DNA sequence: TGCCGACATGTCATGAGTGACATATCGGAG
DNA sequence: CTCCGATATGTCACTCATGACATGTCGGCA
């Protein structure tokens, strides 16, 4: 049910159409909660049916501007303060790490070094975004800046871990077949 | 399609029944790729239909021991080395951060401090697991140890970030209504 | 004035994930 | 010998997510 609240959160800043929301979404929330266009439009209709948002203006090309209702604002605040966040973190890349023993130490090292590179690139990308954006325009941006900072720290930690883990593979390998020294 | 490969990965270590796999799953892979019992049993049947695993023994209570086939092993290795991992990270807790402006600085700080506490507890839990487990029994455990280490670093980084972010809320608040000094 | 890119909303089929429910048997403690 | 907890597998209804496809309009530039 998070997409629902993501849309409420965006509309809390002011009225917008599905098309507007989709664009904002892809540049911000999609990093932590991706959604497709079809999902977004469907959810907007459901939110309107439930009275959490309403159409306050209609423009050309069937454009509908949605505004959050009092009920919607109440639901948003309830969700933020009272609902315990879902802690589930699916991580396709980390799942593979469990099975690196099946592909041999060379492939294992290569895999981990690639992970390091990917996260170093991500850290860099987020750093660029952090520098090139004016964050002090509204609350959404001010708090969005905190999210970007979290992403940078995450990327940095993952990259460091992957470098460390790649180095550990050699140790694991040696212990498996103990050195004949002595 | 990751559950599929998660099961292949577990079976690469040796034959097991769905029931066995479910228990191992909940204590290890579920941290990065949760799955329900119904999903797991369904996927095992599909894997057998596709020839990636096969029933090699039947025991009491309808127990079926599955073994990975050569085809299954090939598919597992292909997935690890050739398939680019999905980088999608849904994060319910971080999504809320974008909208903390709507609940006011007091609630925002409380939210971030709670996040810090949750991640400190997680770091501690993972530390306990790391210490109390004998990791050097097989490849699955040896690499699983690396995953745990990653989790600890993640939890630590998140906790530090949340403490820092909670402190930043005061700054955001002050900038919004600039101090009347001078 | 004719065309094209951006605007704008929607449907549909498919698959993945969730949680409750159904069902049956084995083995050991009392 | 009886009961119960653990073993063991499965179905079902429902929701969420994905990606492709469908459809139409507005506005400005050439």
Per-residue pLDDT tens over the stretch B16-68: 999 999 999 999 999 999 999 999 999 999 999 999 999 999 999 999 999 99
B41 touches chain A (CB under 8 A): no
Query: Cα A160 vs. chain centroid, distance in angstroms?
Result: 20
Count other Cβ atoms within 10 Å, centred on residue B41: 15
Number of H helices, E strands in chain B: 7, 3
Which position has the higher pLDDT, B172 or B81?
B81
pLDDT over 50 at B76, yes or no? yes
CA angle B107, B31, B108 (to 5 degrees): 5
Virtual CA dihedral for B49, B53, B57, B59, nearest 10 degrees? Answer: -70
Using 70 as the pLDDT threshold, list the residues of chain A that sit under it.
Answer: 175-182
Q: What is the pLDDT of residues A7-28, one digit of tens each?
A: 999 999 999 999 999 999 999 9
Looking at the partner chain, which of B98, B156, B160 has a beta carbon nearest the beta carbon of A9?
B98
Looking at the partner chain, which of A32, A160, A164 has a beta carbon nearest the beta carbon of B95?
A32
Tell if the CB–CB gap between B87 and A93 is shorter than 8 Å: yes
pLDDT band of B178, cuts 50, 70, 90: low
Measured between beta carbons, the chain A residues lying within 8 angstroms of B92 are: 2, 33, 85-88
Q: What is the pLDDT of residues A123-149, one digit of tens each?
A: 999 999 999 999 999 999 999 999 999
Tell if the CB–CB gap between B142 and A77 is shorter than 8 Å: no
Average pLDDT over chain B, rounded to an integer: 94
Q: Look at the alpha carbons of B30, B32, B38, B42 in this order and tell me if their dihedral is positive or negative.
A: negative
pLDDT over 60 at B105, yes or no? yes
Residue B176, pLDDT score: 62
Which position has the higher pLDDT, A36 or B182?
A36
In whole angstroms, what is the distance from residue A21 CA to residue A25 CA?
A: 6
Chain A residue at shortest CA distance from B146: A165
Strand D bases contacted by the protein (CB, 7 Å):
7-13, 15-21, 24-27
Residue A182, pLDDT score: 46
pLDDT over 70 at B175, yes or no? no
On whether the CB atoms of residues B63 and B78 are closer than 8 A, the answer is: no
SS3 B58: strand
Interatomic distance A64 CA / C4 C1' (Å): 24
Q: Which of residues 160-179 of A touch B (CB under 8 A)?
A: 160-161, 164-165, 168, 172, 175
Residue nearest to nucleotide C15 (CA to C1'): B1
Q: Look at the alpha carbons of A109, B83, B147, A33 in this order and tell me if their dihedral is positive or negative.
A: positive
Residue A1, pLDDT score: 85
């Amino acid at each position: 049910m998070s997409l629902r609240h993501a849309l409420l959160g965006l509309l809390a800043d002011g009225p917008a159409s599905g098309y507007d929301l989709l664009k904002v979404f892809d540049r911000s929330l999609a990093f932590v909660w991706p959604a497709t266009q079809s999902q977004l439009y469907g959810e907007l209709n459901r939110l309107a049916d439930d009275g959490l948002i309403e159409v306050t203006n209609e423009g050309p090309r069937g454009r509908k501007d949605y505004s959050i209702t009092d009920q919607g604002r109440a639901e948003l605040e309830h969700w933020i303060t009272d609902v315990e966040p879902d802690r589930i973190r699916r991580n396709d890349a980390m799942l593979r790490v469990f099975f690196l023993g099946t592909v041999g130490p060379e492939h294992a090292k290569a895999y981990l070094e690639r992970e390091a590179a990917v996260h170093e690139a991500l850290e860099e990308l987020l750093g660029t975004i952090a520098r090139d954006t004016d964050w002090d325009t509204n609350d959404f941006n001010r708090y969005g800046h905190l999210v970007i900072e979290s992403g940078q720290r995450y990327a940095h930690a993952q990259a460091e871990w992957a470098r460390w883990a790649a180095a550990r593979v050699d140790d694991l390998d040696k212990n498996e077949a103990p050195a004949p020294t002595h």
